[in-house]
Amino acid sequence: MSSAVDLIVKKRGGGELTRAEIQTLVAGLLSGSVADYQMSAFLMATFFRGMTDAETVALTQAMLNSGRVLKLASVKKPKIDKHSTGGVGDKISVCLAPLVAACGVAVPMVSGRGLGHTGGTLDKLEAIPGFSVDLSARRFEHVVRTVGTSMIGQTAEIAPADRRIYALRDVTGTVECIPLIVASILSKKLAEGIDGLVLDVKAGRGAFMKDRKAAESLARALVSVGQRAGKRVVALVTDMSAPIGLTIGNALETREAIAVLQDGGPADTRELTLALGVEMLLLAGVTRSPQQAEARLKQALSSGAGFECFLRLVKAQGGDVRSVEHPERLPQAKAKVAVRAAKAGRVLAIDPLELGLAAVALGAGRSRTDQRVDPAAGIEIAAACGTRVARGEPLAWLHAKTTALAQAELARVERAFTLGSGSFRAKPRVLSRITGAPKVR
């Protein structure tokens, strides 16, 4: 049997590892027979040499099988999840999961926390007082079966190899490697016991992938590997050149998601929710065409079925239902400071990265995994792209614990807004759709 050093050298030289060799490396990392520094060397070799689809599938499955794989045997409906690669103002999962569940699809969702300028679904849900994202596998299955959806965090039992490998990638400069990204995402998602997965791959300044070409490359890799692993997978590449909706921050974004479920909300937040929901219904096979799927989703919004499903989810996971029925009860910041326009003009662009970083500084996000977030902190956009403003009118409102904390971010947020005299035409959020026929295993 080849040693870890042999496998590092093989990958360094551009060789293709077998499924058994990759399993040996992953198992060895968990058992201690492969040292962290050896895995780090392998990750760097992979960063430069890449992986074939077959290797990426093998790595995904080795990481998937390093822990517990949920079966959700008692859930008889088709089980479809959605994953986003992360953006600014991305509250879509909060409204999408109950909406799709209200249309007859089970949505088991293992989500993450925010890190850096991108927010996390778990932090948004925990802005609801009492909401617990730490459910046992048994309770998770029960909630999915009885409510139609459940959203929890990754437990120590799910893909533990991913936790170890991601921690090494984070400190060795090997995060930006498509095969490693694919294996990390899919190993967690496939552990949920799902039948299919819809991916929202962001492209733009506020995303991990800054340009459309790179995002489409990642989307194709995710779809290909997911399908080779035997799942139905489709990806939408979506625009992240401006924040999604009008809010950034946990309680603020949760309120916006609630507005969507009450058949309102900003147009682009609603657009993305419906577009991803259509793909989930199609993968589940509960509708035959995009038009039927969209009509069904809109009916669930107008009838209140999606909102009612969210209320049941909140109750099942210990949250305060009154805070959802009356969103003004959600956490509110003590300080609210206006960012005012220095000149008159039309808002031509809003930099999502700068607003995301400002939101972190206000307390809405974290730069380290051990940091706590302030659920009330964040940014409320007062002048969306295309809006005309007079000098002195608010561009945004900063929500923070103290006025001083908010004032420290005034200049950064003002610079994020580009004002001019030109015309503005809103772009669709969905840039492209990546799909294909599943391959025979």
Catalytic sites, residue numbers: 83, 162, 169, 184, 188
Instruction: Give the C-alpha separation, 291 to 96, whole Å.
Output: 17
Degrees (nearest 5) of the Cα angle 212, 215, 219? Answer: 135
How would you classify the pairing of strands 232-239 and 378-381?
Answer: unpaired
Q: Which candidate, 48, 63, 60, places its Cα nearest to that of 15?
A: 48
DSSP annotation of 196 reads: E
Residue 440, Ramachandran bin (φ over 0: left; ψ between -120 and 50: alpha; else beta): beta
**In 13-136, where does DSSP find H-type helix?**
19-31, 36-49, 53-64, 92-101, 121-125
Instruction: Give the C-alpha separation, 402 to 235, whole Å.
Output: 41
* 3-state secondary structure (DSSP) of residue 8: helix
Question: What DSSP assignment string belongs to 335-346?
Answer: EEEEEE-SS-EE
Q: Which candidate, 31, 40, 41, 57, places its Cα nearest to that of 160?
A: 31
Instruction: Give the C-alpha separation, 128 to 313, whole Å.
Output: 12
